[in-house]
Structure 1
Amino acid sequence: MEDSEDELNPQTGLIKAVEKILERKLTSDEATMWANVQETYGISDDDPLVIVLVMLGVHAQLAKDLPLTLRKVSTEIVEAHRATLAAQSGVIAKDLIRSIAPSLANEMRIISAPAKLKFWIGLVAAQVLTGATVAWVMFKWLIPH
């Protein structure tokens, strides 16, 4: 009987079968592990136990690769959602600005010039006061008594 590429041969049959199912080359450590299992239990490539070993090994490899696969897929999903949310937030912000800009412009026209000045001075003062309060709280938090 001639060995074809799909048939198992005594030296690499189990390893070839595992690589074929996993659709990738085994690392040298993985190949050594498979060769040791086959040699330890004296299982030849034409032994029906090879199929059981392959099935168990593939499931073990899938379980081993699962955390990395989940991390990769979840990162891709998070990035896709992040991009979608960023695009949606930009659209929402533009629509909001577009909808309130006319009413703000109208309100600003109604307020007299000195009142506008008082409004902006009050706004700046509120921001300074808020900043000072935050700085004081952080100072108290960073330097315990």
Structure 2
Amino acid sequence: MKTNKYSLAVTLLCAAVLTGCNSDTKLNSPPLIGVNSFVTETDVAITDKVAAQDIDGDRLTFALNAQPANGSVTLSADGNFTYTPSAEFTGSDSFAITVTDGELSAAGQVNITVEVATVSFLSYSRTAFAQEEDATPLSVNGRNFTMDAMAEADYADLLDGL
């Protein structure tokens, strides 16, 4: 009978210890930053949102760690951003961010590809022709021109009266 009392006492003690270990305390996981790659064209700003999530459902706050080397960015606390490439820049650029859930944080990078802009030669040359004498010349860097001006007639209205 003593064995049963001791067995019962040990069982109750183990149950109490294990119940104490089974805490409902919520463990916080750090935010997860997704793949953030975006594409724009020369001299064209892009507005989008950084992809991130928190598996605990905590509200996320975003911060900019470093500006891009070939442009500028504004980043809102909710993850929305506007990236503006430097004038005439084409290529790859990136900026560093931190995402926090109020307790834990994660660092990440947003990658931007700035592609060559395809531009109508006819439209671009008409704009250049209409510029004032003291205007800044139109840039041709970072542009791929479509050869859509094939005949003198394409400029007939500009040449009349000269």
**Pair in the same fold by TM > 0.5:** no
Identify, as 1 or 2, the structure richer in helix.
1
TM-score, length-scaled by structure 2: 0.21
TM-score relative to the length of structure 1: 0.23
| Structure whose CA Rg is larger | 1
More strand by share: 2
